[in-house]
Structure 1
Amino acid sequence: MSEKTPYDVLGVAKTATEAEIKKAYRKLAKELHPDLTGGDAAKAERFKAVSAAYDLLRDAEKRRRYDAGEIDASGQEKPQRQYYRSYAEADPSQRYDFEGNFDDLGDIFSRAFRQQQGGGAGGSARGPRMQMRGADLQFHMEVSFLDALLGAKKTVSFPEMGRVELTIPSGVEDGQTLRLPGKGQPGVNGGPAGDAYVRLSVTPDPVFTREGEDVLMDLPISIDEAVLGASVEVPIPGGRVKLKVPANSSSGRVMRLRGKGAPTGQGGHGDLKITLKIVLPEVEDPTLAEAVKAWRAKNFYDPRAGWKGAR
């Protein structure tokens, strides 16, 4: 059986749009995220695979390179072939950017070896030492919704880089990349070190979602709170507040807490939009049923009057 492609893992076609890929990821993340599945090991493993697939396909350049067979599903370079053909077909003046003239490939390799060893016979180098910038490193990291929204400092360990103090700026979004200058591979012969890049995946939150600069949440309320009004304690990003639910509030009504959303990038914040959801008791209450019957007998109204779906 052939190994699943990132498209297979997300359950999308190879021609899927960016929006379709994002929608598929979000659906699977809500089903499989460890915080929402009670520690199910199998689902946790699937979530890792889904996150890795999304991390590759969300990046247009990585997706292009994967489709072209240049990198594998983990984002690693595939072995390149036809080196000699590439050399032979290249413009001789542009095959290498070494300083100096070389008679053949053997001289190139032997000279490079002597430079790495500190020189030729007697310890003297035959040519200039090449300074090369170190390679960049690429990493992936998951952050919680609230850490991404509010900002956080994390001590994390990455292969080839060890433990680092990482600052997550407030308001970062899913898919953004943090650049750590000089944290990549060391340079050669005194060349500068490369950089490290950390791509962030924001994990779904059981309460909040984000829509641009606004944060959204649903608030369950009882039927008596909806009818009579109430003061309800609700979570907000970074704390809790008392929310006044007006009397006669229908399910679906949106309450807005200004400035409690995501950073706008101009010193301000979006809003927290709270959608009211009337929830009836799980167990049928005869007293409530009788009260509603008595009320309906005298005060019937049509909630679908004027509704577009009415006929």
Structure 2
Amino acid sequence: MRDPYSVLGVTKGADSAAIKSAYRKLAKKYHPDQNPDDPKAKERFAEVSSAYDIVGDDEKRRAFDRGEIDAEGNPTMAGFNPFGGGGRSRAQGGANPAFEDLFATFTQGRGPNYRSAGFSSGGGSAEDILKSMFGGGGPDMGGMGGAGMGADPRMGGAGMGGPGMGGAGMGGQARRQPRPAKGDDIKATARVTLEEVLAGDKVQVSLPGQGAVKIALPEGVEDGQTIRLKGKGKASATGGKLGDALVTVKYASHPSFKTDGSTLLMELPVTLDEAVLGARISVETLDGKVALTLPENAQSGRTMRLKERGLPTKGGKRGDLLIKVLIKLPEEGDEALAALMKRWRTDGRYTVR
């Protein structure tokens, strides 16, 4: 990262109020919620947040100015020379001079206010500022942790350092600074027609706080399926990655079809004569009209299948269209039909019970 002072547009001698004011302006300007269609704004926002994390904290700022940490907050080796001189201090029990020189090198230049427990954020942290402007927030990033130099009882001295220097001391274990937390996910619903599902169209969906965006329907998308849009969620209060948008697909109701997975279901009303004598009937499908042959003596409730006239599947194929035959009689009655049925009843040619 660049020098944090130049990132925030302030001088090295700027006071904390000026630094905080500069950060507020830049964070508001580049916040991803204000720039949903500008990916560069997200990068700039993260850079501004990282810069303020360094110079917006008094202890981190002093450490950076002394060259003890870099612009990323990682410890440097500035001023460390394991073979150099420096003031001498004698450990209890009389350690040898070589160790005294090494001990002095580690301890020289540390004032009485030096803390080994890590840098801590004040009340004007980036997280606090973002909360005041946008709400929400994220977990505390904590201090720059690391293990200090362990004690050796044979030398009669106590261990040095602590968890606050961000790197591994001699005889200790390293502990890395935790990554910034990712922003929260958001949820939305996309209502789509069966024709849009068949065509794999792009559909419009409204994302909370971001307005309308268009998304492409994947092949074989199912009713109730969730589509994840990376980086379309809320911003992180700690400069981490943006959250995601979770879009649930819902099929809109259709006047002719019902769905069962990739299978389409429909009812086909036919007249009594069509059912008895058979007929060639035009049937509406998602692909347009097709001719269906209704066989003679078709029973009401019979199901006929049109192969691959349903919805797409993930394997690149299509489901079927199932057509249920329903015999419909005249709504207001028909004298000729009634006379025919009376003769039919008298003849008693067949029974169903």
**1:272 Cα deviation after fit:** 0.8
**1:149 Cα deviation after fit:** 4.9
What is the match of residue 123 of structure 2?
110
Select 2:229's aligned residue among 175, 180, 183. Answer: 180
**1:297 Cα deviation after fit:** 2.8
Letter aligned with residue 110 of structure 1 = G
* Cα pair 1:150 1:237 within 8 Å, conserved: no
What is the match of residue 283 of structure 2?
234
**1:129 Cα deviation after fit:** 11
CA 275–115 in structure 1, closer or farther in 2 if over 3 Å, else same: closer
* Cα pair 1:133 1:187 within 8 Å, conserved: yes
Find out whether 1:167 has 2:216 as its counterpart: yes
* Cα pair 2:219 2:314 within 8 Å, conserved: no
Over the aligned positions, Cα root-mean-square deviation in angstroms equals: 3.2
Equivalent residues in 2 for 1:42-191, closer than 5 Å: 101=117, 108-110=121-123, 112-113=125-126, 131-188=180-237, 190-191=239-240
Q: Which moved more, 1:201-210 or 1:146-155?
A: 146-155
What is the match of residue 307 of structure 2?
258
SS in 2 for 1:110: coil
* Cα pair 1:140 1:201 within 8 Å, conserved: yes
Residues 171-214 of structure 1, C-alpha deviations (whole Å, 9 max, x = no match): 32222111111111234565322111111222332321122332
State TM-score, norm by structure 1: 0.55
**1:270 Cα deviation after fit:** 1.9
Distance (Å, rounded) in 1 between the aligned partners of 2:335 and 2:117: 96
Letter aligned with residue 248 of structure 2 = R
Unaligned runs of 5+ in 2: 1-72, 75-115, 131-142, 145-176
* Cα pair 1:136 1:185 within 8 Å, conserved: yes
* Cα pair 1:264 1:270 within 8 Å, conserved: yes
Distance (Å, rounded) in 2 between the aligned partners of 1:190 and 1:249: 69
Letter aligned with residue 276 of structure 1 = V
Q: Name the larger-Rg structure.
A: 2
Find out whether 1:223 has 2:236 as its counterpart: no
CA 171–267 in structure 1, closer or farther in 2 if over 3 Å, else same: closer
What is the match of residue 159 of structure 2?
none
What is the match of residue 341 of structure 2?
292
SS in 2 for 1:281: coil
Find out whether 1:274 has 2:323 as its counterpart: yes
Residues 36-81 of structure 1, C-alpha deviations (whole Å, 9 max, x = no match): xxxxxxxxxxxxxxxxxxxxxxxxxxxxxxxxxxxxxxxxxxxxxx
Q: What is the percentage of aligned positions where both structures have the same residue?
A: 39
**1:229 Cα deviation after fit:** 1.1
What is the match of residue 260 of structure 2?
211
* Cα pair 2:282 2:291 within 8 Å, conserved: yes
Distance (Å, rounded) in 2 between the aligned partners of 1:238 and 1:280: 30
State TM-score, norm by structure 2: 0.49
Distance (Å, rounded) in 2 between the aligned partners of 1:131 and 1:163: 28
What is the match of residue 198 of structure 1?
247
* Cα pair 2:126 2:238 within 8 Å, conserved: no
**1:111 Cα deviation after fit:** 6.3
Unaligned runs of 5+ in 1: 1-97, 118-125, 305-311
Distance (Å, rounded) in 2 between the aligned partners of 1:241 and 1:285: 31
Distance (Å, rounded) in 2 between the aligned partners of 1:199 and 1:172: 10
Find out whether 1:247 has 2:291 as its counterpart: no
Distance (Å, rounded) in 2 between the aligned partners of 1:181 and 1:114: 23
Residues 249-278 of structure 1, C-alpha deviations (whole Å, 9 max, x = no match): 110111110111233322222211101000
Distance (Å, rounded) in 2 between the aligned partners of 1:297 and 1:160: 74
SS in 2 for 1:226: helix
* Cα pair 2:127 2:237 within 8 Å, conserved: no
Letter aligned with residue 328 of structure 2 = V
What is the match of residue 36 of structure 2?
none
SS in 1 for 2:343: helix
Distance (Å, rounded) in 1 between the aligned partners of 2:284 and 2:219: 18
